[in-house]
Amino acid sequence: MATLSEEVELLRKIPLFAAIDPAKLKLLAFASDRKNYSDGQELFKQGDFGDAAYVVVEGLADIVVETDAGEVTVAQLGHNEFIGEISILCDVPRTATVRANGDLKTLKIKKEHFLGIISQVPDLGIEVMRELASRLSTTTAELSDAKRELQIARAS
C-alpha cells in the first residue's frame, strides 16, 4: 500500500501536475483511490458515463474503439500517463474502452476532485487544453494519412 507522500510524488512526476503546489497535490492524492486491474479487465467502456480519470502507476492500458468492423486498439498508454479526462471535462460519454494489458496499477481521480483542482489552479486548465489539443492534432494527422492511403488504394 502506497503512502500519501508516495502518491503525491507520483502525481508530481506527471507533466500535467508537475507545477501544482504540493499542498494541493496532497489533497488530490488523498482524495484519489488506488485501483489494480488484471490482464483484460476494463477500467471503463466506450459509451459509459465518465466519473473519473486515471493515472497509470504501473503497467500498460490499451485504448480500444468499437467500429463497424470490430474493436480497434488505437493507442497504448503506460507509466505516468493520464486516461479518461475527455469524458469528465466535456461531459460526454467515454470515447473509448480502456483495458488492462497485463497487470495494471492506477490512481483513480474522481471527476469532482479533478475539476476542483482545475478551478484552483488555472495553469492546470491550460496544460489540460494543450494536452487535448496535441492529441487532437495527432488524431487529425493520422486520419488524414489514413484517408490518403484509402484514396490511393481505391485509385489502384
- CATH number of the structural domain spanning residue 64: 2.60.120.10
**Number of domains into which the chain is organized:** 1
**Which residue range forms the structural domain that includes residue 69?**
4-155
Cα 91 to chain centroid distance, Å, stands at 15
Q: Of 16, 57, 17, 49, whose CA–CA distance to 33 is shortest?
A: 57
Cα distance between residue 156 and residue 73, in whole Å: 27
Asked whether 63 and 73 are in contact (CB, 8 A), the reply is yes
Task: Count CA within 13 A, CB hemisphere, residue 114.
Answer: 26
The backbone torsions φ and ψ at residue 47, rounded to the nearest 5 degrees and listed phi first, read: 95, -15
- List per-residue pLDDT tens for the chain, 156 residues long: 678 888 888 888 887 787 788 888 888 888 889 999 999 999 999 999 999 999 898 999 999 999 888 999 999 999 988 899 888 888 899 999 999 999 999 999 999 988 888 888 887 788 878 878 887 888 888 888 888 988 998 998
Predicted TM-score of the model (pTM): 0.81
